[in-house]
Amino acid sequence: MRGRRRTPSVTITWQPESAHARTRLETDAAALGLRRVEIPTTIGTVVARVGVAASPVATVLLHGAAGSWTSWTPLLRAAARCDDPVRNVVALDLPGWGESPFPSDGIDIGRFSEAIREVVMALGYERWDVVGHSLGGALALDLAARFPERTDSVFLVSPSGPAVFDAVRRPLRGGLGLPAFAGMLLAMRILRGLGDASAPLLRTLDRGGLLRPLSAPLFALSRRIDPSVVHALADEIRPRAFVAASRAAAAYDESSWRGIRCSVRSVRGARDVFVGTDDGAGLAALIEDFDEVVLPDAGHFAAVEHPAEVLRLMRRATN
């Protein structure tokens, strides 16, 4: 539904979770009441973890360019602890990440959105609430713009937005505005150049304890992060897909987001090095009904660092 454009950014104060294990990633779908499915689409097979379809509206979870479906498991566990699990879950491994093969025609945001639609329809749903992190946030917005009649709401966690698009289109000037992302993109290009040697190198860095300090800028307080999160980065980073996604972002026309008709709610960490401080205002200029919340003690992975708080905000956005 349409609504009045609102103030793009507000900071809230809250008590951080103290339990180290709450950031742990889960790899066993059955432990979360989910099952693994493979869905054929026009760009290849997509692997997803899905719950029981209890209504016509799916909750579609789209991860970022340095993760897989497991990125959402701290949030799903937080919901289970409240005895109010997330319903109708469709948690994808995006094509080129996790267990979904790299698409033969490469990465294109529009084709990805069509594949997501095909997955959700194949599972019997008619509409969706879509939740996206980082690259998954940009995909969530494209999905809402491309299929407004099927999108009930959008909830974003540190979405890739104006600053990232500027950094990939104008590497020198844009990279100065978002140096951590520019550095990550350079590292991904180097790893892509290593081909099959990149995966063993990342695992070696992880085993040697070097990946944690290298990944520390992604989090507000990396010492709070469970080792499983760092291990997942070693296993789930896909340099080829990351670089291809950056090219797709450079070619993408985000003005299409003006066609979004549902509410869009977003959360980012105040210490997020992959989101520009003016991104909220930029998104508010494109999207009629947009609000952003800034968590003061979070980085780029707020749903991992503080899953209960992000869950609360997500519930408010999708109910």
Say how many C-beta atoms besides its own lie within 10 A of residue 315's C-beta.
14
Average the pLDDT over 276-299 and give the result.
95
Beta-carbon contacts of residue 273 (< 8 Å; ≥ 6 apart): 178, 180, 181, 217, 218, 299, 300
Residue 224: what pLDDT?
87
Q: What residues are paired with 267 via a beta bridge?
A: 157, 293
Q: Which tokens is 188 given?
A: 């991904």
pLDDT at 20: 60
What is the average pLDDT value for the chain, to the nearest integer? Answer: 91
Q: Which two tokens stand for residue 209?
A: 């304890």
- What letter does residue 43 receive in the DSSP assignment? T
For the segment 170-192, the average pLDDT, to the nearest whole number, is 89
pLDDT tens-digit readout, 94-113? 999 999 999 989 999 999 99
- Measured over the CA atoms of residue 134, residue 139, residue 145 and residue 147, the dihedral's sign is negative
Measured distance CA(273)–CA(105) in Å, rounded: 31
Cα distance between residue 167 and residue 293, in whole Å: 23
Question: What confidence tier does 14 reach under pLDDT thresholds 50, 70, 90?
Answer: very low
What pLDDT, on a 0 to 100 scale, did the predictor assign at position 255?
95
* DSSP designation for 103: P
Q: Tokens at residue 237, please?
A: 């980073």
| 12, pLDDT greater than 70 | no
Helix axes 227-236, 198-207, angle to 10 degrees: 170
Res. 144: pLDDT tops 60: yes
**Whole-angstrom Cα distance, residue 311 to residue 318?**
10
Mean pLDDT highest for which of 86-90, 180-184, 223-227? 86-90
Per-residue pLDDT band at 173 (split at 50, 70, 90): confident
pLDDT of residue 2: 38
Residue type, 306: H
Q: Centre a 10 Å sphere on the Cβ of residue 5 and count the other Cβ atoms it contains.
A: 13
Mark out the alpha helices in the chain (DSSP H runs): 73-81, 109-122, 135-146, 162-169, 171-177, 179-193, 198-207, 211-215, 227-236, 239-251, 279-286, 302-305, 307-318
Q: Specify the range with the lowest mean pLDDT, choosing from 90-99, 172-181, 200-209, 241-250.
A: 172-181
Over residues 278-298, mean pLDDT = 95
What integer pLDDT is reported at residue 49 of this predicted model?
98
Answer whether 233's CB lies under 8 Å from 63's CB. Answer: no
**120: Cβ–Cβ under 8 A, 6 or more apart, which residues?**
58, 60, 90, 128
In this predicted model, what pLDDT tens digit does every residue of 251-282 receive, in sequence order?
999 999 999 999 999 999 999 999 998 999 99
Q: What are phi and psi of 93, to 5 degrees?
A: -90, 110
pLDDT at 1 over 90: no
* 22-74: pLDDT as tens digits: 889 999 999 999 999 999 999 999 999 999 999 999 999 999 999 999 999 99
CA distance 265 to 278: 16
Report pLDDT for 16. Answer: 43
Backbone phi, psi, residue 228, to 5°: -60, -30
* Structure tokens, 280: 């909220």
Strands 57-62 and 89-93 come out as parallel
Q: How many CB atoms lie within 10 A of CB 23?
A: 23
